[in-house]
A and B are shown apart, each in its own frame.
Chain A
Amino acid sequence: MSDPDANSGRKAVDRGTQGLRLAKVCVDYGAENILKQIDAIVPEGRLIALAGPNGSGKSTLLSAMARLLKPNSGQVCLDGKSIHRISSRELARNLGILPQNPLLPEAITALDLVSRGRFPHQGVLRQWTPGDDHAIEEAMRLTGTLEFADRQVDQLSGGQRQRCWIAMAIAQETRIMLLDEPTAFLDLRYQIEILDLLHDLSRNHGRTIVVVLHDLNCVMSYADTIFFLKNGALAADPVEPRNCTPELVSEIFDIDVLAAAHPQSDRPVFLPVSGRQAGGA
């Protein structure tokens, strides 16, 4: 429908039907309701975190947004059109997903992996264009993966490997990027690197980023908007980190927390109240 290059780099917030919207989305696995009547508008050009306890439906919601699964009822719409009515290739030019456990082919190089993100931009005759080269170089530069472009991905460290996958998703040049726990199993340092990168993508490259994150304090430090999920439903209206209260967090995660202000950003940080300390105090 539209040229993806024109879309990236745009921060416009069109109040009409632009962007990704969910209307009464329900997903069942057998008799169990995994998602119950989710209504949401994904704000454009921002970093949105999906947070909530295990089994709250975060990954399922992300999969429904990415058309990896079809809701049993309700609709996911992109620019006012149901994503199930958009052609696969067209959708893939506007919306990309990095799932939690992608498969890494043996002996694939970083460059080769990243270039596979260009798939939806190539025609039936698979023409390789300078635009493809440019997108790949840009993605690898942003993720700092250029230096090992010719190395095999399975021989890189966990953090480097994850940056290659994110580079692939960036090279897809979609205005909306969905990522399922991109920082899982990574050291603190790599977690911060990747979250900084996602922040940069939303802030300086106009991308809409929706990311499932496990660590609540990462959510607080990096998200513009938080969708809290509990038992398959949105537990609150979308909130900004600044407006999160200990009461809200306690209710969602079923633990007692204390709030503090982050010394650098002044955003809230939530510290769980441990049974041992409470007893000792």
Chain B
Amino acid sequence: MTLGLFLLLALAVIHLGIGARFVGPQTVITALLSYDPTNFDHKIVVDLRLLRLLSAIVCGAALGVAGALLQSVTRNPLGEPHILGLNAGAALAVVLATATGSSWLAEPLGRPLIAAVGAAALFGVVLGLASAGKNGLTPMKATLFGVAFSAFASSLTAAILILDEQTLDDLRIWLAGDLAGLTYLALVNAAYVVSAGCAVALVLAPYLNVLALGDAVAKGLGVNVMAVRAASLLAAALFCGAAVSIAGPIAFIGLVVPHMVRRLVSDDLRLLFPLSAIGGGVLLLAADIAARTIVAPQELATGLLTALAGAPVFIFIAARRFR
């Protein structure tokens, strides 16, 4: 945990230093600790770059915990917001709301909550269809339906954007999964939603620990299995809604981080949740640093890089698990 936090801090300092104008680590730290409005470097770090840093951390943390939750509650090693359809559902909801000019978008918590509803709705459909049939819910079916419905929702999103150029212009960069062009208000709203999700996840952790032993054992130990599942899915939808509202659909953070934490530290969800939050922040910061340096002075969308790095990990896990 300490190591993770240290890594997060180190990356944060690098993250703040990088850009069109490089700022050394020492200057970054002084800018944060004793801000001097007349110093040009300080202004860059605090006024221009801090927002992006905080967004990356909040978004990465949300995706990390969402992945840990989904993997645990669906007993699916490939459980992840992107694969199970939550991200695509959230993106579709936001695009729909933008295209129809919904007034809810203007409400303070509108965007993250609309995204959360979209995530929950699409995931609900995925789970419902995957549970149908003789064998009930299997990881394989959940994954297949998730991928299929993600593709379906993404094409709907694309169709709306093609028909509606105004929405396209507003959302083009966001849809690739990007941390640029945010406001503090949007970040704070999303942070509220993430905090709510974290609280739910921490309360749920001991229940999910027991649920991991199978439904029968969990019931025998006094767990209301259906209620715990429902609460977990709600929390996962909140995380995805918040993350998508900040940065668009960013893939694979939720897949990779919980697997790494589990392998390195522990399977115990009381540890896995907080560590996945830190890990998600670390990974998304690293990806964002890469996105801004690889083709400097231009920059790539952050979501492209997490997908580039995450796809091989996905294939690795799938190959190991579904042999």
A residues lining the B interface (CB < 8 Å): 63, 66-68, 87-93, 96-99, 101-108, 112-113, 116-117, 119-120, 122, 126, 172
Contact with A along B266-308 (1 / 0, CB 8 A): 1110000000000000000000000000000000000000000
Complex contacts, A67 vs chain B, CB 8 Å: 219
A to B CB contacts below 8 Å, 16 in the list: A89-B222, A92-B220, A92-B221, A93-B222, A98-B217, A99-B220, A102-B214, A102-B217, A103-B213, A106-B262, A106-B267, A107-B262, A107-B266, A116-B210, A119-B209, A120-B222
Bound-state CA distance A102–B263 (Å) is 22
Contact of B214 among A92, A99, A106, A113 (CB under 8 A): A99
Complex contacts, A66 vs chain B, CB 8 Å: 219-220
Contact across chains for A91 and B213 when beta carbons are under 8 A apart:
no
Contact across chains for B210 and A99 when beta carbons are under 8 A apart:
no
Query: How near does chain B come to A164, taking the closest CB pair, in angstroms?
Result: 11
Contact across chains for A105 and B267 when beta carbons are under 8 A apart:
yes
Q: A93-B222, A117-B221 are in contact. List 14 more A-B contacts (CB 8 A).
A: A88-B219, A88-B222, A88-B223, A90-B222, A96-B221, A101-B214, A102-B216, A103-B214, A104-B213, A107-B263, A107-B267, A112-B268, A119-B210, A120-B221
Contact across chains for B223 and A68 when beta carbons are under 8 A apart:
no
Q: Is B138 an interface residue (CB 8 A)?
A: no
Contact across chains for B206 and A68 when beta carbons are under 8 A apart:
no
Contact across chains for B221 and A116 when beta carbons are under 8 A apart:
yes
B residues lining the A interface (CB < 8 Å): 75, 206, 209-210, 212-214, 216-217, 219-224, 262-263, 266-268
Complex contacts, A96 vs chain B, CB 8 Å: 220-221
Complex contacts, B219 vs chain A, CB 8 Å: 66-68, 88, 97
Contact across chains for A116 and B222 when beta carbons are under 8 A apart:
no
Complex contacts, A107 vs chain B, CB 8 Å: 262-263, 266-267
Bound-state CA distance A63–B219 (Å) is 11
Contact of B222 among A91, A103, A105 (CB under 8 A): A91
Complex contacts, A98 vs chain B, CB 8 Å: 217, 220
Bound-state CA distance A126–B270 (Å) is 11
Complex contacts, A120 vs chain B, CB 8 Å: 221-222
Which residue of chain B has its CB nearest to the CB of A104?
Answer: B213
Contact across chains for A103 and B75 when beta carbons are under 8 A apart:
yes
Pairs A-B, 9 closest by C-beta atoms: A92-B222, A99-B216, A97-B220, A103-B214, A88-B222, A89-B222, A120-B222, A119-B221, A105-B212
Complex contacts, A90 vs chain B, CB 8 Å: 222
Complex contacts, B216 vs chain A, CB 8 Å: 63, 68, 97, 99, 102
Query: How near does chain B come to A127, taking the closest CB pair, in angstroms?
Result: 11
Which residue of chain B has its CB nearest to the CB of A97?
Answer: B220
Complex contacts, B224 vs chain A, CB 8 Å: 88
Which residue of chain A has its CB nearest to the CB of B209?
Answer: A116
Query: How near does chain B come to A11, taking the closest CB pair, in angstroms?
Result: 24
Query: How near does chain B come to A132, taking the closest CB pair, in angstroms?
Result: 12
Bound-state CA distance A90–B222 (Å) is 8
Bound-state CA distance A213–B116 (Å) is 49
Query: How near does chain B come to A53, taking the closest CB pair, in angstroms?
Result: 23
Which residue of chain B has its CB nearest to the CB of A172?
Answer: B221
Bound-state CA distance A93–B220 (Å) is 10
Complex contacts, A172 vs chain B, CB 8 Å: 221
Complex contacts, B206 vs chain A, CB 8 Å: 119, 122, 126
Bound-state CA distance A66–B222 (Å) is 11
Complex contacts, A91 vs chain B, CB 8 Å: 222
Complex contacts, A104 vs chain B, CB 8 Å: 213
Contact across chains for A108 and B267 when beta carbons are under 8 A apart:
yes
Bound-state CA distance A112–B270 (Å) is 12
Contact across chains for B220 and A68 when beta carbons are under 8 A apart:
yes
Contact across chains for A99 and B217 when beta carbons are under 8 A apart:
yes
Which residue of chain B has its CB nearest to the CB of A63?
Answer: B216
Complex contacts, A103 vs chain B, CB 8 Å: 75, 212-214, 217
